[in-house]
Structure 1
Amino acid sequence: MINSGGMADIWLATDKENQTFAVRLLHKDLKFDFTARKRFLQGCEILSKIHNHDCVIGYYDHGKMEGTLYCVMEYVEGANLKELYASHDPVLLENVGNIIIDMATGLEHVHESGFMHLDFKPENVLVTRNANVRVADFDLSQPIPDKPRKASKNPGTPSYMAPEQLMREAFDQRVDIFAFGVAAYELLTNVKPFPGESPAEILNKQVDRSGFLKPREQNPDIPLALEKIILRCLEQDPDKRYPFMTVMAHELKTALYV
């Protein structure tokens, strides 16, 4: 086993031609959990539709084996972003600009394919030893609605949720843009923009902002143009954020001279 999450374990496997794969298996104790099974299968189905992109984890197959749901994916030899910045890995330090752009490019592809990720965070961004990015884990993903709508349930990671999610209001793909802003801020400063121990505390800091520090106040080396992009992503009002990832990705490349 090479990794374990809240819903599944990931195993390394090889075929007869010695090609390597990552096989994701739903936890056995969730075998009869209808919600978990539905999310796992939904994540597989969405990945099967959007995987054909350099910045999204590769997909090969999914199904059921001896009663256990599985998904066969590309094996990424590397680590997730959270692990990289926690260890101050040189791969991240030397390629942070390109990694941020590739994160945006991957998320842009997800949106252009008609889906919102809904759990975008550093743990779900894998980085190879050559600094290539793969956006992963689509268990919570949903089709982008025609107009913002409320969700009956509110799964996800509160630190990366937009205010409208935490307040259980209607939302759309712009919550991913907020999550991207949180991840980019954290990547460049090593701290979260709105830290908190509970969803209520996080929401309070998102709304109040009296203690909020701009990225360049945490790290003066951040280009001013990049700070402006992150701040727009982190706007409390979704109408003040970027309307589409395509617009933001274009501005990112311009800001970072790519």
Structure 2
Amino acid sequence: MTEVAVDSVVDGRYRILGRIGSGGMADVYRAEDTHLGREVALKMLHRRFAQDAEFVERFRREAKSAAGLQHPNVVGVFDRGEYDGTYYIAMECLQGRTLKEVVVDEAPIDQLRVIDLGVQILQAAGFAHRNGVIHRDFKPHNVIVDDGGHAKVTDFGIARAGASEMTETGSIMGTAQYLSPEQAQGHPVTAASDLYSIGVMLYELLTGRIPFEGDSAVSIALKHLSAPPPPMSGDGLAIEPNLESVVMGALAKDPAARWQTGEDFAGALEACRPYVEAHGEGAPLTQSTAVFAALPGPATDRPVTEVRTVAPVITEPPLEEAHHRRRWPAVALALLVLALIGLMAYAFSRPEQVDVPKVVGLNVTDARERLDKAGFETVRIERERSFASEDSVLRQDPDPGEQAAKDDPVTLAISDGPGKVRVPSVRNLPEERAFKELEKADLKVTADPQPSTEVKKGFAVGTSPGDGTEVDRRSRVRLFVSSGPERITVPNVVGLSRESAESRLDREGLTVQVQVQASDKPKDEVIAQSPGEGSKLDAGNRVTITVSEGTQKEGTQKVGVPDVEGLAEGDALRMLR
């Protein structure tokens, strides 16, 4: 999407203050939440992703999961929504540097500081894992560190939305360096996958380099799959042996051989602290055994000391070992031949494979028809709540374009719609609290001022739709906030009779004060008013009107004057009498 201009207001709420940066999935802006008066980071999804219904649904679902993670080491997600043809997430705005910037500026990092940072990151990971959220993209770029050394992890769960875009040049290179072996193979991702990536991060913090490098994402991924990580100590760098063993234990190729929880991994790091403090180059290995025996180690039955082979004392291999090394090429060749034979047998024996058509975004009826035409007769339906329209296809398994046998079942995840919620009553609540109550009900809110003589200024008058109304989850409601009593526009009463003027002003809710003044206008006609027409007054304020008292004094009578011009004096006097 085109860049959002400074001072633009996104979704009627977030005023853009400036651009923070851009990534493979989104642009990030610094913005002001005009409703709650706080600064946020606004992540705006690139428009090309917003056109993909499957991607958008993953993005929404994962954003909702991330919003539920409230932890001191997790960047908070406040809101999500749609604007100008794309989607956004409003997050906590932090001051500080990314951990990648720390690595570039300072690595190798002091070992005690690495323990402090590692424990914080692992506490965030452990909390998320206990709540069913896997990050999938742990890397230094996704950790913010403030000047006080406090670390917060961002983009929890959001990475899953971009999983299908992992082949993009540029976005994959940074991710591949921290990718677990099972992710590189396309296998299911677990908590142990996140812990592997964190192990790579700690390796980089301690040494200033990543364990596996290559010219392409593919070459790096292959090393994650098969190559052992180089020892951390060496070339003048002395990592405390216990600490090195703990980090290397997270880099096992087999997920079952790694630390299984963030808490276990963090506890092992903490156990290294006294050895790092007392012995810059590490204590004897025999002293560390008691420390790690009390901790759940990487998930194997072997003693932790076996992991320590990552930093061995270099000795000449015995003759028997050298003999085994000479035999290794022949063994590898034999295994390769057996694997090729197995693959050929499988290729010739399996049923005919055809491409699975894309049905994501279609109505379930249309999706069934398309799959039926492609020869897939068995369709399994799984329903779930979603912001997508009811009965639309959210996901499919196998994915579009994959090869499958026609008698294989195709599983479709179908939207049941967003679900319904009732609008809560917020009348007479302060505006900020009313906002929070409506957002807690999973509703989006737009505030409008409304005059009220009954509700105090700044407090909620009501909503539209009204409280108790059943509406779609995440739909928008209008919150009416009292602007105080309505200001009255003073009408023009000049020229009206006194009675009519008083009646008109009384209907408007204004009081009247009357002044009388001699005038050539008819008696009791309003000849002036104060304040004038169009003035704004509060209800009950006073308007002064000036009315004419006429041109004759009370008790006199008008008579006609006869024309006496040209008459004799006596005749004139008689007529005048």
Is the shorter-chain TM-score for this pair beyond 0.5, marking a shared fold? yes
Match of 2:214 in 1: 196
Give distance in 2, aligned partners of 1:197 and 1:108: 33
Asked if 1:79 corresponds to 2:110, the answer is no
Match of 2:237 in 1: 220
1:212-251 per-residue CA deviation (whole Å, 9 max, x = no partner) reads 4212236734222211111110011112111222211111
Q: Write out aligned runs for 1:31-110 (5 A).
A: 31-50=50-69, 52-88=70-106, 95-110=113-128
Q: Secondary structure at the match of 2:177?
A: helix
Give distance in 1, aligned partners of 2:269 and 2:222: 29
Contact 1:188–1:219 (Cα < 8 Å) also in 2: no
Match of 1:136 in 2: 154
TM-score by length of 1: 0.84
1:131-153 per-residue CA deviation (whole Å, 9 max, x = no partner) reads 211111131249xxxxxxxxx95
From the CA coordinates, give the structure whose radius of gyration is larger.
Answer: 2
Q: Secondary structure at the match of 2:259?
A: coil
What one-letter code is carried by the residue in structure 1 that aligns with 2:81? G
What one-letter code is carried by the residue in structure 1 that aligns with 2:38? Q
Q: Secondary structure at the match of 2:72?
A: coil
Match of 1:164 in 2: 182
Match of 1:124 among 124, 133, 142: 142
Give distance in 2, aligned partners of 1:204 and 1:67: 39
Contact 1:39–1:140 (Cα < 8 Å) also in 2: no
Contact 2:178–2:197 (Cα < 8 Å) also in 1: yes
Asked if 1:249 corresponds to 2:266, the answer is yes
Q: Secondary structure at the match of 1:70?
A: strand
Q: 1:79 to 1:219 in 2, by over 3 A?
A: farther
Q: How many residues are treated as equivalent by the alignment? A: 246
Q: Secondary structure at the match of 2:233?
A: helix
The structural deviation recorded for 1:172 is: 2.1
Further displaced range: 212-221 or 239-248: 212-221
| Highest RCO, 1 vs 2 (Cα 8 Å, sep ≥ 6) | 1
Give distance in 2, aligned partners of 1:219 and 1:250: 28
Contact 2:107–2:206 (Cα < 8 Å) also in 1: no
Asked if 1:182 corresponds to 2:214, the answer is no
Q: Secondary structure at the match of 1:115?
A: coil
Which structure carries more helix by proportion? 1
Q: Secondary structure at the match of 1:248?
A: helix
Further displaced range: 25-34 or 117-126: 25-34
Asked if 1:231 corresponds to 2:248, the answer is yes
Identity of aligned residues (%): 29
What one-letter code is carried by the residue in structure 2 that aligns with 1:34? A
Q: Secondary structure at the match of 1:239?
A: helix
Q: 1:89 to 1:230 in 2, by over 3 A?
A: closer
Give distance in 2, aligned partners of 1:18 and 1:105: 30
Give distance in 2, aligned partners of 1:170 and 1:61: 29
Q: Secondary structure at the match of 2:158?
A: coil
1:62-94 per-residue CA deviation (whole Å, 9 max, x = no partner) reads 11234331111110111211122112289x658
Match of 1:147 in 2: none
Q: Secondary structure at the match of 1:215?
A: coil
Contact 2:77–2:92 (Cα < 8 Å) also in 1: yes
CA RMSD of aligned residues (A): 2.7
What one-letter code is carried by the residue in structure 1 that aligns with 2:209? V
Give 5+ residue unaligned stretches, structure 2.
1-18, 167-171, 278-577
Match of 1:146 in 2: none
Contact 1:174–1:244 (Cα < 8 Å) also in 2: yes
The structural deviation recorded for 1:41 is: 1.6
Give distance in 2, aligned partners of 1:25 and 1:12: 11
Q: Secondary structure at the match of 1:69?
A: strand
User: Hey, which bits of structure 1, 4+ residues long, moved more than 3 A?
Assistant: 15-18, 92-96, 152-156, 206-210, 218-221
